[in-house]
Amino acid sequence: MRLFVAVPAAEGFLEEASLAQSLLRTAGADVKWVNPECLHFTLHFLGEAELAGVPEVVSALDCVKSANPFVMRTAGLGFFPGSEKPEVVWLGAENTEPLAELRTLLAGRLAALGFEIDSRLFVPHLTLGRVKSPRNCAALAEKAGSLACSGAVMTVNSVVLFESVLKPDGPQYRRLGAAHLGDEF
């Protein structure tokens, strides 16, 4: 099973992402766009794991119960690694420090279960699409630069363990468990 821990995007973020994708499509760039229903903020990609280990991973999520829910707001579009040779088109957010704190809380628990923790700089984002070729990338960057975010708001109140099932038309995500922020008794 391919597993990852994430915060699913809420309705306002999904609407903003869908609108951005629609406008960016007009650039004619060679991008495989992500289904807005699949958008999420990845905290940890765990990779391949055995089904028998899933209950332990779900239990590890409980460490976030000590954190309080918080609000994020959409904050612009960007590219990884940059707009000159983009590979990923993303939508960013403001007030992501609490999200980074959740990631840190989870890291120790997941490492104790034997998962390798990515040590790269954490840049919270929703992946809108993956660039397949350089065709019309300049137009894509220009369109992205001209789009203003509406400042959609979402309350982060849970983290979810997902299984990613790769299909020819794109991945499908299945919820395997969740923990809610502020649920500590």
Residues carrying an active site annotation: 40, 125
**How many CB atoms lie under 10 A from the CB of residue 171?**
14
Omega cis (within 30) before 86: no
Helix (H) or strand (E) holding 146: helix 137-146
Phi, psi (5° rounding) for residue 75? Answer: -150, 55
- Which pairing describes strands 126-131 and 88-94: parallel, antiparallel, or unpaired? antiparallel
Pairwise CA distance, residues 148 & 9, whole Å = 19
Q: Look at residues 54, 76, 74, 70 and name the one whose alpha carbon lies nearest to residue 5.
A: 54
Residue 87 CB burial class (10 angstroms; 0-12, 13-18, ≥19): exposed
